[in-house]
Amino acid sequence: MPPTHPPGPGRRTILRGAAVASGAAILGGAFTVGSATSASAQAAQPYLYWRGSWNARPPSSPIQVLATRPSYIVVHHTATANSTNYSLDHALALSKSIQNYHMDSNGWIDAGQQLTISRGGHVMEGRDRTPEAIAAGRHVVGTHVANNNSTCIGIENEGTYMTTGPTQGLTNSLVATLAWLCGAYGLNPQSAIRGHRDFNATACPGNVLYAMLPNLRNAAASVLTAQGMDVDALREPSGEGPTYPPVPDDEPEREFYHGPGRGADDFTR
């Protein structure tokens, strides 16, 4: 089933369904890099399923898009069941259920995260206008890391990773997605890739996935290096760095292993 491209100017030319292969794979837990075909940052772009693929609802309020680039890429887990259904249909249904929960239960304007990866390795657009913003070097403000949403782009990874790790398919896609975002925004993977718990009082993205972050950073850097990019020359995050802000009283309660998505200093839901 190919990705569905919702109508709208520019979408057809920004991403054309399938991405250019990066030559990267993770096999049996070991990261390997094949021959690079391009030094372009966009070469690391994964195959992305648009909101139309999962029948997304329109946002309830206008999406905020900043002219500035994000400083951090935040890895989350969804804190949902570790499903063994790796199909595309399941992945698209996951995106729909996340949006419904975020809008109907949390009162947010749309899905909180910018991107979602299923346990089958399918990568999906989350918050509206995300692919266009990435392609333009801009930042769609989400609702996923309290008081830091203006500087962080978030990836929700399906599952709960407190005591077990993600599937190989999810891990492969996560590396490709991290490399794509680092290349698109000119971010150094070693300093830009963080876990949710680096910003808020939460166990997200789970003990096991959090412990994988050093290897994920190295893997993303290897992809970029294979594409001819000088990782050491990429941008370091600006500002004070991650903080642990208080969360508003009206922020919905969640299981501690997922944590807060919105803070008092966030100007959007």
What domains lie within the chain, and their CATH numbers? 27-232 (3.40.80.10)
What does the pLDDT read at residue 257?
78
* Contact yes or no for 80/97 (Cβ under 8 A): no
Which residue matches tokens 């929960």? 101
Per-residue pLDDT of the chain (269 residues; tens, 9 = 90+): 444 443 333 343 333 333 333 333 333 333 333 333 333 444 468 999 999 999 999 999 999 999 999 999 999 999 999 999 999 999 999 999 999 999 999 899 999 999 999 999 999 999 999 999 999 999 999 999 988 999 999 999 999 999 999 999 999 999 999 999 999 999 999 999 999 999 988 889 999 999 999 999 999 999 999 989 899 888 887 655 665 555 556 666 566 778 888 887 788 88
Task: Give the Cα separation of 216 and 193 in Å (integer).
Answer: 9
What pTM did the predictor assign? 0.83
What does the pLDDT read at residue 159?
98
Task: Give the Cα separation of 17 and 202 in Å (integer).
Answer: 35
Helical (H) or strand (E) element with 76: strand 72-77
Task: Give the Cα separation of 73 and 101 in Å (integer).
Answer: 23
Task: Give the Cα separation of 119 and 121 in Å (integer).
Answer: 5
